């Protein structure tokens, strides 16, 4: 078992629709985010696991979130979110206030600077706002590699350095913290305060009694962050059974949540629910199964994910799928494609938009009773979006399909906001936005159709 869940997320709040990590959190309304933030962390801690509210504070973009060096070797510091006191309190601090009131165990300080000072060594936000004004009694951990100093960070309110290993840059705590205490730079009282803050949630949630051991397979999984399992330095006590299957009936809950989270933006002529169509055509590179494996953790951009349903965004929030049901797979099964219904499909966007496309011409008989078009918009940690339009020439795909077929249903999997220039096209009868539905992407769409 893991003692700490690195979530939920209220930073980014997501007031810029281009934010690469907006998909990890909640709406840009601070009050609504505060309520959802609180309910989520309470459910985590009700299960005996510590919740970590992140990323505190003003973490609103991925671009230049960490310092870089230019060609001359000059350091360019991380972006600074400059905010006046009123804006900070009424927008960005509010969800964290609600988390503190709910008893959150930990808060993760962010990569960015706030008003020119790094988030993990900002005494105003950590000591002043979080611990004093809000009365937070848990501990402040850094984001991975977000610690920029030792004594300064500790005295400014940071309690834990993560990951704390050389693989994430300079190590500022560990032995250096011992030295700082011995030379008086950090007081014994402050060290005791750090220890109390870290250990209090551990005992409060009874993690000292009968807590599940760490699955031995975690060593290989977490080694994805390193070059090999041998570099995985954490000293955990592992259980005797590896690859424990703890999924239970999670799939049913995921399907239900994904379906209930899907938003119907348009439905004319009573198109939905569908009435037993006998000829179905499925289009778009978002409709099929994964082609590059079960993880989209790697922060290497949209280029790798041209084909396959976009069930999650990229980066550390993506997770590792044990399986995914694609829209095409679910549609074929639900329609009874072996007996009752003809299901045809073209999943290559380039083939769809090709002039005089022979691939579309082969969709026969024509026109089908209904066309289902799946579009997607990639978003990931470490990179902000550059456009609010869908990816992979999706607008051209829509133009081509709607020029040939009338009863067309559009579905998007995306990071919150998209511009839909074709929304009022008369041949588009229905528009659904399904966000990032996780492993039951196809099944949840069936619930709606």
Q: Which residues are catalytic?
A: 143
Burial of 378 (0-12, 13-18, 19+ CB in 10 A): buried
Helix/strand/coil for 109: strand
Cα–Cα distance for residue pair 385/219, rounded to 1 Å = 33
Q: Does residue 61 have a cis bond before it (omega within 30 degrees)?
A: no
Cβ atoms of residues 351 and 285 within 8 Å: no
Cα–Cα distance for residue pair 111/61, rounded to 1 Å = 10
Phi-psi region of 424 (alpha: psi -120 to 50; beta: other; left: phi over 0): alpha
Cβ atoms of residues 85 and 129 within 8 Å: no
Cα–Cα distance for residue pair 258/278, rounded to 1 Å = 26
Cα–Cα distance for residue pair 223/19, rounded to 1 Å = 28
How many Cα atoms within 13 Å fall on the side-chain side of residue 296? Answer: 27
Distances in whole angstroms, Cα of residue 252 to Cα of each of 175, 263, 441: 48, 19, 12
Q: How is residue 231 annotated by DSSP? A: G
Burial of 118 (0-12, 13-18, 19+ CB in 10 A): buried
Q: Measured between alpha carbons, how far apart are the two ends of the chain, in Å? A: 38
Helix/strand/coil for 433: strand
Cα–Cα distance for residue pair 251/253, rounded to 1 Å = 5
């Amino acid at each position: 078992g893991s003692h700490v869940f690195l979530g939920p997320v209220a930073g980014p709040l997501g007031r810029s629709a281009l934010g690469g990590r907006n998909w990890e959190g909640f709406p840009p309304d601070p009050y609504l985010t505060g309520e959802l933030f609180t309910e989520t962390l309470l459910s985590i801690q009700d299960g005996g696991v510590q919740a970590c509210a992140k990323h505190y504070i003003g973490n609103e973009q991925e671009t230049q979130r960490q310092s870089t060096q230019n060609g001359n070797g000059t350091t360019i510091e991380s972006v600074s979110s400059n905010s006046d006191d009123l804006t900070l309190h009424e927008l960005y601090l509010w969800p964290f206030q609600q988390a503190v009131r709910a008893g959150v165990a930990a808060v993760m300080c962010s990569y960015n600077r706030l008003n020119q000072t790094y988030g993990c060594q900002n005494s105003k936000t950590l000591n002043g706002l979080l611990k004093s004004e809000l009365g937070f009694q848990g501990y402040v951990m850094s984001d991975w590699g977000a610690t920029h100093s030792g004594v300064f960070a500790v005295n400014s309110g940071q309690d834990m350095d993560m990951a704390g290993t050389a693989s994430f840059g300079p190590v500022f705590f560990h032995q250096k913290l011992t030295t700082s205490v011995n030379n008086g730079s950090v007081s014994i009282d402050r060290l005791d305060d750090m220890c109390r803050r870290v250990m209090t949630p551990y005992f409060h949630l009874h993690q000292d009694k009968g807590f599940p051991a760490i699955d031995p397979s975690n060593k290989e999984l977490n080694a994805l962050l390193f070059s090999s399992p041998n570099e995985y330095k954490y000293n955990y006590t592992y259980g005797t059974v590896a690859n424990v299957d703890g999924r239970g009936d999670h799939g049913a809950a995921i399907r239900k949540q994904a379906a209930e989270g899907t938003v119907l933006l348009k439905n004319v002529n009573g198109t939905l629910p569908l009435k037993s169509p006998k000829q179905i055509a499925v289009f778009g590179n978002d409709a099929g199964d994964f082609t590059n494996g079960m993880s989209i953790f790697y922060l290497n951009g949209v280029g790798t994910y041209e084909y396959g349903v976009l069930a999650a965004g990229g980066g550390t929030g993506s997770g590792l799928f044990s399986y995914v049901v694609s829209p095409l797979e679910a549609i074929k099964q639900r329609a009874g494609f072996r007996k009752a219904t003809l299901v045809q499909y073209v999943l290559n966007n380039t083939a769809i938009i090709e002039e005089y496309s022979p691939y579309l011409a082969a969709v026969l008989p024509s026109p089908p009773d209904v066309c289902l078009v799946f579009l997607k918009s990639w978003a990931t940690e470490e990179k902000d979006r550059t456009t609010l339009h869908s990816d992979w020439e999706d607008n051209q795909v829509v133009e081509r399909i709607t020029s040939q077929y009338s009863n067309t249903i559009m579905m998007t999997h995306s990071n919150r906001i998209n511009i839909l220039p074709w929304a009022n096209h008369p041949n588009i009868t229905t528009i659904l936005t399904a966000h990032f539905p996780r492993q039951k992407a196809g099944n949840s769409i069936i619930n709606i159709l």
